[in-house]
Amino acid sequence: MKKLLVTGGLGFIGSYFVDMALKRGYYVINVDKMTYAARTDVDFHERDNYEFIEEDIATMSHIPPGVDYVVNFAAESHVDNSIHANEAFYNSNIGGVYNILELIRAKDETDRPILFHISTDEVYGTAHAGSFTEEDKLLPSNPYSATKAAAEQLIFGWRHTHGIKAIICRSCNNYGFGQYPEKLLAKTIEFLLNGKKMTVHGDGTYLREWIYAEDNCEGLLTVLEKGEEGQVYNVSSGEEHSVIDAVKMIVAEMGMTEEEALVHIPNRPGQDLRYSVDCSKARALGWAPKTTLKEYIPTYIELYKKKLGL
């Protein structure tokens, strides 16, 4: 049984990943600091092949023996927060990765796990035309994506100099039940169900690629199982919608008008106009996303209604 040390496994995407990995028979040690974004409703704590350690990746002092992969999801992940105060982003997203690299380096070479690092399509910055491939330059535009790009640079440096083994995956925008309702779609559903208007930055015409968290995690596990050490993989859906169109899909499903549901607020500084990545490298490993946003929205709303007792 392969042993994974998953960090941030109580977070939105991490919790889908832990659940999937446990079901596939991996042994999972979940290290999570339990920030505000950690889920309290997961049901995998009692599984036999699972243990939990409440710890900060930036200060943890060792990696247990026999770990095959450190799968690093742990991060501060909300762009808006990074614009107002960046210290936690610096500490977790850069300091945490630095600490993990040093902990791997300190281990005997025969017991060094591979670092499987979860990054973001945001590290490329705006895709003015076409889609970024893994060979393209990193040009992050906001404080969050800058910390994610910095972490990748540390990994490249430690790999080249110290022989640390690593794989990096850059995922696009995830959606699904369990996401902390600061993120666009979860926030839209919760606001509207609570009778509040949803706020949209600017005119909302900036484009994002959307992927269901379960599809993303299947992609990540495919790369972990079949991908090549030392490589970077984009993990995305090719399903591109502007922010306003994605929000409008929810508004329409709830039977509301735009006037009833939405209010526009000033755009946020550093807003990228479009994210788009080419994920043919990951798809060549035999993976493809199965769900579309439009198909998932009715379930999405029902799950949040249940959560809110409506």
Ligand X SMILES: NC(=O)c1ccc[n+]([C@@H]2O[C@H](COP(=O)([O-])OP(=O)(O)OC[C@H]3O[C@@H](n4cnc5c(N)ncnc54)[C@H](O)[C@@H]3O)[C@@H](O)[C@H]2O)c1
Using CA atoms, how far apart are residues 56 and 31, in angstroms rounded to an integer?
Answer: 8
Cβ proximity to ligand X: between 98 and 180 the closer is 180
Cβ 257 to ligand X shortest distance, Å: 28
Site track for ligand X across 1-20, x = CB under 6 A:
------xx-xxxxx------
Amino acid at 95: G
Cβ proximity to ligand X: between 38 and 155 the closer is 38
Using CA atoms, how far apart are residues 215 and 17, in angstroms rounded to an integer?
Answer: 10
296 binds ligand X (CB under 6 A): no
Annotated catalytic residue within 122, 152, 215, 278:
122
Using CA atoms, how far apart are residues 61 and 9, in angstroms rounded to an integer?
Answer: 18
Whether 144 is catalytic is: yes
Name the nearest CA neighbour of 8 among 29, 32, 39. Answer: 32
149-208 binders of ligand X (CB under 6 A): 171, 173-174, 180
Residue pair 118/220 in contact by the 8 Å Cβ criterion: yes
Cβ proximity to ligand X: between 263 and 299 the closer is 299
Cβ 291 to ligand X shortest distance, Å: 15
Cβ 3 to ligand X shortest distance, Å: 18
* Closest residue to ligand X using C-beta atoms: 11
Taking CB under 6 A as the criterion, the residue among 32, 134, 239, 278 binding ligand X is: 32
Site track for ligand X across 51-90, x = CB under 6 A:
-----xxx--------------xxxxx-------------
User: Could you report how far apart the first and last alpha carbons of the chain are, in Å?
Assistant: 42
Q: For tokens 């994506």, name the residue.
A: 145
Name the nearest CA neighbour of 199 among 143, 268, 273, 271. Answer: 268
88-127 binders of ligand X (CB under 6 A): 92, 96, 118, 120
Using CA atoms, how far apart are residues 171 and 265, in angstroms rounded to an integer?
Answer: 27
Whether 122 is catalytic is: yes
Q: What is the DSSP string of 250-305?
A: HHHHTT--HHHHEEEEPPPTT--SB--B--HHHHTTT------HHHHHHHHHHHHH
Cβ 211 to ligand X shortest distance, Å: 8
Whether 32 is catalytic is: no
33 binds ligand X (CB under 6 A): yes
Q: What length does the chain have? A: 310
User: Token pair for residue 268?
Assistant: 């946020």
Per CB under 6 A, residues contacting ligand X are: 7-8, 10-14, 31-35, 37-38, 56-58, 73-77, 92, 96, 118, 120, 148, 171, 173-174, 180
Catalytic residues: 121-122, 144
